[in-house]
Amino acid sequence: MSVSPVAAPSIAPHATGPARDPAADEALDPDAMRRPLPDAWYCVGQASGLTGKALRAVELNGEQIVIGRDASGAPFALRDRCPHRGMALSKGGFDGAELVCPFHGWRFSTEGRCRDVPTLSEHDAADFSKIVVQRFPVVESAGFVWVNPNLGAPGETASLPALDFDPVGSLVVELVVEASFDLTTLSLVDPGHVAFVHDSWWFRPSKELREKKKTFRPVPHGFVMSSHATTTSSPVYRLLGGVPDVEIEFRLPGVRLERITAGPKRLANYTFATPLTANRTLLTNALYWNIPGLNLLKPVARPLMRQFLTQDQQVLQHAQAGLDRKPTMVLFGQGDLPSQWYFRLKREALEAARAGRPFENPLETRELRWRS
């Protein structure tokens, strides 16, 4: 396969990708490319704390949402807004079956139907059965709650991250980044920043840039890179002993799945980007393992994971400030091709949804070379 360096056009921030069919441009609302995909599953937090009568307020794509579990233990997600006067339902009570608004006591089922307006007199003819709170599609996977902000039945969206082994331990770190969803998501597929941003001794002992050559192939709704780690790889890999196989998948809307295998030993490092508002994005990093000995390292690993995410957070916030002043990017060289692929995948998801046809991955298997 011949590969030549590619210079991408200067592009609008979180807006466009490389050269495209002009007819497709006409068809697609350009604003749609600047927003996070409207019909996709986003991680809204850990499932573990959501028990019994707990309610949790979460934010997704500018929506305030309240999540909890119904009587059967299934998660529910409702707009966190009482239709009466706009009160946050997450501030009220929940008896396991009904949410009670703390302002005037209206009661709602976990389906969002109004069940009672206690201030009504018997002689009041008003019918509250038509009053509803918007319900969002919600599912649980890999220890997290996932919400699709699209109103109505979810269309064809990327499958949810799952685990293909039984973990004996896990570690989760969350951090809010004051940057757009696209800019934050690009950091999940950007090999070029690693040497400069993540230069901690424990992650990258050598300061030298080395030539890398990796093959990327398309997978449903994304692409994957597989490789054998080398002895010069991160010390984190060496914790597993031996030379592990590493597979890193990116999947729409903003999911990075790193799977590390050394014989029967398994480690999964998952990162999810969630749009909170137009300029705030939640980064969630979850590490899972099936090696009991690693449980002892949890107190050490947590601050290191936080340090790693903070490195991304700081640099992304500064870059966002630059994009706010002048909203263009130059995607340049093979190391930036995965970033271009992100925009191509996103565009295809929007065009497929718009045309009511199945998503067709526009990517091909490719070998990329860069230095990092």
CB of 101 to ligand FES, least distance (A): 3
Query: Contact between 103 and ligand FES (CB under 6 A)?
Result: yes
Residue 106: name its binding partner from ligand FES, Fe ion, none (Cβ under 5 to 8 Å by kind): ligand FES
Query: Contact between 132 and ligand FES (CB under 6 A)?
Result: no
CA gap 170, 155 in Å, rounded: 31
# chain residues binding ligand FES, by CB under 6 A: 8
Residue 33: name its binding partner from ligand FES, Fe ion, none (Cβ under 5 to 8 Å by kind): none
CA gap 125, 246 in Å, rounded: 66
Residue 34: name its binding partner from Fe ion, ligand FES, none (Cβ under 5 to 8 Å by kind): none
Q: Say which residues have a Cβ less than 8 Å from residue 325's Cβ, sequence separation at least 6.
A: none
Give me the residues paired with residue 287 across strands: 171, 269
Q: DSSP per residue over 60-94, as a string?
A: ETTEEEEEEE-TTS-EEEEES--TTT---GGGSEE
Using the rule CB under 5 A, give the single segment among 48-56, 164-172, 179-187, 285-293 that binds Fe ion: 179-187
Residue nearest to Fe ion (CB): 312
Dihedral angle sign, alpha carbons of residues 237, 167, 177, 304 = negative
Using the rule CB under 6 A, give the single segment among 67-75, 84-92, 135-143, 325-333 that binds ligand FES: 84-92
Query: Contact between 338 and Fe ion (CB under 5 A)?
Result: no
Nearer to ligand FES, 45 or 68 (CB): 68
CA gap 10, 331 in Å, rounded: 7
Closest CA to 17 of 368, 288, 343: 343
Query: Contact between 87 and ligand FES (CB under 6 A)?
Result: yes
How many Cα atoms occupy the beta-carbon half-sphere of 228 within 13 Å?
5
Residue 8: name its binding partner from ligand FES, Fe ion, none (Cβ under 5 to 8 Å by kind): none
Helix (H) or strand (E) holding 24: helix 22-27
CA gap 369, 363 in Å, rounded: 17
Residue 240: name its binding partner from Fe ion, ligand FES, none (Cβ under 5 to 8 Å by kind): none
Contact between 103 and 87 under an 8 Å Cβ cutoff? The reply is: yes
CB of 135 to ligand FES, least distance (A): 17
Helix (H) or strand (E) holding 195: helix 194-197
CB of 85 to ligand FES, least distance (A): 3
Nearer to ligand FES, 84 or 214 (CB): 84
CB of 271 to Fe ion, least distance (A): 9
Query: Contact between 249 and Fe ion (CB under 5 A)?
Result: no
Residue 354: name its binding partner from ligand FES, Fe ion, none (Cβ under 5 to 8 Å by kind): none
Q: Is residue 155 classed as helix, strand or coil in its secondary structure?
A: coil
Nearer to ligand FES, 101 or 145 (CB): 101
- Across the beta sheet with 265-277, the strand order is 169-177, 280-289, 265-277, 255-262, 245-251, 222-228, 211-219, 366-371
Q: Which of 312, 336, 348, 351 binds Fe ion (CB under 5 A)?
A: 312
Nearer to Fe ion, 55 or 248 (CB): 248
Query: Contact between 113 and ligand FES (CB under 6 A)?
Result: no
Residue 312: name its binding partner from Fe ion, ligand FES, none (Cβ under 5 to 8 Å by kind): Fe ion
CA gap 122, 116 in Å, rounded: 12
Query: Contact between 82 and ligand FES (CB under 6 A)?
Result: yes
Q: Is residue 125 classed as helix, strand or coil in its secondary structure?
A: coil
Closest CA to 286 of 161, 147, 139: 161
Nearer to ligand FES, 91 or 302 (CB): 91
Task: Please report, as ranges, the residues that interact with ligand FES according to CB under 6 A.
Answer: 82, 84-85, 87, 101, 103-104, 106
Residues that bind Fe ion (CB under 5 A): 187, 312
